Amino acid sequence: MIRSMTGFGDASSHANGVHYFVEVRSLNNKYFKANIRLPDEFQAVEAEIDALLRQRLSRGTVTLSASMSDSSASAAHTINRQALGKYVEQLKQLPQVGGGEIRLDLTALLALPGVLQPPGDEEARLERARAALLDLTAQACERLIEMRVREGRALVVELRSQYDAIAERLTQIAARAPAVVAEYESRLKARIDALLTESGLKLEPVEVVREIAAYAERTDIAEEVMRLREHLRQFDEYLREGSDRPLGRTLDFLAQEMLREANTIASKSPDAAVSRLIVEVKGAIDRIKEQVQNVE
């Protein structure tokens, strides 16, 4: 199945006053690259999320962002009374300036190191977050893949149109090829007859046949046409394939091979009609190469 490499998916959940949100975006890339953005307290889950992304997505630059908001009472930090009391005691021992009394800023005091302690169940919170984030990542990936599949269908339509254009022109080239040698033979015999009439010389027929045979061998494109047709047949099979395996690199390789055969046909055939047709074939192959860069 043809799938695009661009897509977007998100998922969220809410339980016991905690809200989790995950979004996944993907763009073109020759390989797989993951950019994972998690809250600092959940960095321990990054490796598992990365493994899950690699399991579901084979190519592309994938960016995952996750956030969490906790409105439950369990999110409250604990005030370390001993640490706070120690800070206040030290502040009271400072010499007073101007004889005024010392005013303590509670906000500044709470920001001092060691005053606010994180909730005591950090490990349990991390475990809950791990389960939630992995589940939401899987859901977001499913939605991203659905979008990739939809865009893949549009890619198939474009690739199919270029395939049809190449197949049509290749049929015309194959039909034109035998006439190229026949026309050369006719022109050669006419020139030879004219020269022999003027000079009064005689040319053995075997020499004419040898020259025509050499020309036919130099300009024979039957093998290249056959190989290009075989590449097209394989390309058509991949467009029809229903499996989930990634096909982008395979299609890109096939497009390169098709272009190789088209270039050989262009260099071997001196016929103007074939040259015009092969230029159109190469243009269609270039458009295929451009499109398959977005195929997973």
Indicate whether 206 pLDDT > 80. no
Indicate whether 215 pLDDT > 90. no
What's the whole-number mean pLDDT along residues 218-246?
86
- Of 172, 163, 75, 161, the closest CA to residue 125 belongs to 75
What's the whole-number mean pLDDT along residues 156-160?
94
Provide the pLDDT for residue 114.
Answer: 73
- Of 155, 163, 154, the closest CA to residue 248 belongs to 155
Q: Where are the alpha helices (DSSP H) in the chain?
A: 46-56, 81-92, 106-110, 122-199, 205-218, 222-240, 248-268, 272-292
How far is Cα 96 from Cα 100, in angstroms, rounded to an integer?
6
What's the whole-number mean pLDDT along residues 251-266?
93
Q: How many CB atoms lie within 10 A of CB 29?
A: 13
147 confidence band (pLDDT: 50, 70, 90): very high
Indicate whether 203 pLDDT > 60. no
Indicate whether 216 pLDDT > 60. no
Provide the pLDDT for residue 202.
Answer: 60
- Of 171, 169, 292, 284, the closest CA to residue 239 belongs to 292
Arithmetic mean of pLDDT over the chain: 82
> How is the chain split into domains, by residue range?
7-74+121-148, 78-116, 151-292
Q: Are strands 60-70 and 116-117 parallel, antiparallel or unpaired?
A: unpaired
pLDDT tens digit sequence for 43-81: 889 999 999 999 999 999 999 999 988 655 565 566 767
- Of 7, 5, 34, 25, the closest CA to residue 293 belongs to 5
Indicate whether 187 pLDDT > 70. no
**What is the token pair recorded at 34?**
């993951």
What's the whole-number mean pLDDT along residues 176-185?
67
Percent of the chain at pLDDT above 70?
A: 76
What's the whole-number mean pLDDT along residues 280-293?
94
Higher-scoring residue by pLDDT: 185, 53: 53
pLDDT tens digit sequence for 86-131: 777 777 776 665 555 666 677 777 677 776 666 656 677 778 888 9
* CATH code given to domain 7-74+121-148: 3.30.230
